Amino acid sequence: MAELNDDFQKRFRTALEENDETEIKSMLLSLHYADLADLLERQSPDKRVELIEIIRGELNPGMLAELDDTILEQLAAQVTTDEMASALALLDTDDAVDVVEELPEAEQKVVLEKLPRDNRLLIEESLSFPADSAGRLMQPRVVSMPLRTSVGEAIDNLRNRHDLPSDFFDIFLVDLENMPVGSVPLGRVMSSQRHIKLENIMLKDMKLVPVTMDQEDVAFIFRQRDLTSAPVVNSHGQLIGVITIDDIVDVIHEEHEEDIMRLAGVGEEDDLYDAVVKTTMSRFSWLLLHLICAMTAAYVISLFQVQIEQLVVLAVLMPVVATMGGAASVQALTVSVRGIAMKEVNPSNTIRTIGKEAMVGLLNGLIFALMISIISWFWFGSVALGIVIAMAIMINLFVAGLSGSALPILLQKMGYDPAVASSAFLTSITDIVGFYVFLGLGAIVLL
């Protein structure tokens, strides 16, 4: 198998330049499916169409599950439903579901009908669960055995089964009603004597995952408990599937991606491969929100037009107060949003968390108040001006710490995502407070 290293990429560029289709095809097919997906993603859209055309007859199923959503849609539009179906038939159910759920609804139906009956039924069952739920992530082909099975019987049973998933790490033990009672890691099975009963070496402190549980909560359980697989149960508590860690790694990435993107006001769908117009649209609403906030801040300034006219240095220094408040509030916000995501913030320490951030804001406020007042005293030669900006900075950094930590917690309590729109609102708060306090104090003290 070829490595996607610098040498490969150089040879590949040469093959592309020379338009050597045989060489291009053999190079593409020599790659690991994950590397092939990466290589396709990096091409320009036109080049990508050409490359897909070259390999469409031998579509690598593994690659489909690895492709970015945007690119998968393009590929689906280019290949026939027959080509898609024959690739999907070779995937494990959970990976096939990942691919199918990205297809347009009409195409989903056609492709599913072309799959072998067994695969189709399993995929359709998975798709019947809500998006982003455990049901979508799980592999319905689960390796389970009755409680009384011995190590020897387990091994014999596995040797005779033909429907094993390609990856499994545990044998789940179930009672007569098919409810899971324990799990045995394969390493334990293999290192135990044949006559030993699995129930004597099973782990009992399993976390059962309800099939409707949100994938974010599933990921939290996996991370917290260092799990490699977890049993999925239906509403009667019966074992209907298993979720493995490889799918969870993808979920963890998705959720982090969401957090970081939302903090910056970038839509979740916004990735490098989207087209310019689509990206422009997805960024628009965030910028609109900022416009509304900025206009509110401008209104606050407009209340002090007379004072600014009299003392134009107020206009020079007012953005400093706003900028410092904005930077401090984003710091508090980020820590708070991460704390919520990691379930470190909870009712028992909410007050302490907010109190700490307010204190940090106040302390830094004191330090920077001192620095800025000295700078502006030297710059404009006015002690009074230094005092005014010092007070404004101190108040604004205190407000920044307080609101930066409290707002996401409040949003979370009200059932909203704490990361969405928080930073726009916060910057708005620190802008308004900053301008109002600085210009207001300036008007009182200096004029």
Binders of a copy of itself among 284-323, rule CB under 8 A? 284, 286-287, 290-291, 293-295, 297-298, 301-302, 305, 308-309, 312-313, 315-320, 322-323
The contact mask relative to a copy of itself for 57-76 (x = CB under 8 A, - = no) is ---------x----------
Q: Which of residues 344-403 bind a copy of itself (CB under 8 A)?
A: 344-346, 348-349, 352-353, 356, 359-360, 363-364, 367-368, 371-372, 375
Q: CB within 8 A of 446, min separation 6: which ones? A: 311, 314, 382, 384, 385, 388
271, 377, 387, 425: which one contacts a copy of itself (CB under 8 A)?
271
CB of 39 to a copy of itself, least distance (A): 9
Q: How far is the CB of 106 from a copy of itself (least distance, A)?
A: 30
Residue of 23, 41, 125, 217 that binds a copy of itself (CB under 8 A): 41
Distance from the first to the final alpha carbon of the chain: 78
Binding a copy of itself (rule: CB under 8 A), the pick from 261, 370, 387, 446 is 261
DSSP 206: P
Distances (CA, A) of 380 to 176, 304, 307, 372, 411: 84, 20, 17, 12, 42
Q: Write down the residue that tokens 């910057």 correspond to.
A: 427
Asked if 246 and 405 touch (Cβ cutoff 8 Å), the reply is: no
Question: b vs e for 219-250, b when ≥16 Cβ sit within 10 Å of the residue's Cβ?
Answer: bbbbeeeebbbbbbbeeeebbbbbbbbebbee
Min dist CB 114 to a copy of itself, Å, is 26
Instruction: Give 74 or 279: the residue with its C-beta nearer to a copy of itself.
Output: 279
Residue of the chain from 338, 426, 436, 441 that contacts a copy of itself (CB under 8 A): 338
Q: For residue 30, give the amino acid letter.
A: S
207 C-beta neighbours (distance < 10 Å), count: 12
* CB-based contacts of 49, cutoff 8 Å, min separation 6: 74, 78
Query: Using only C-alpha atoms, what is the Rg of the chain?
Result: 29
Beta carbon of residue 329, minimum distance to a copy of itself (angstroms, whole number): 10
CB of 173 to a copy of itself, least distance (A): 16
CB distance 350 to 336 below 8 Å: no
Task: Name the minimum Å distance from CB 373 to a copy of itself.
Answer: 12
Cβ neighbours of 137 (radius 10 Å): 27
Q: Which of 216, 250, 258, 417 binds a copy of itself (CB under 8 A)?
A: 250
Nearest to residue 96, comparing CAs of 137, 48, 57? 137
DSSP per position, 7-27: HHHHHHHHHHHTT-HHHHHHH
Among residue numbers 205 through 224, which ones bind a copy of itself (CB under 8 A)?
A: 205, 222-224
Tell the smallest beta-carbon distance from residue 24 to a copy of itself (Å): 15
Compute how many residues bind a copy of itself; rule: CB under 8 A: 118
**Residues 108, 150, 334, 403: which binds a copy of itself (CB under 8 A)?**
334
Provide the minimum distance between the beta carbon of 139 and a copy of itself in the complex, in angstroms, as a whole number: 12
The answer to the question of residue 181 lying near a copy of itself (CB under 8 A) is no
Binding window for a copy of itself (CB under 8 A); candidates: 21-29, 110-118, 252-260, 409-417:
252-260
Single residue of 117, 159, 195, 236 touching a copy of itself by CB under 8 A: 159
Query: Is residue 427 involved in binding a copy of itself (CB under 8 A)?
Result: yes
| Best CA proximity match to 393, nearest among 343, 332, 318 | 318
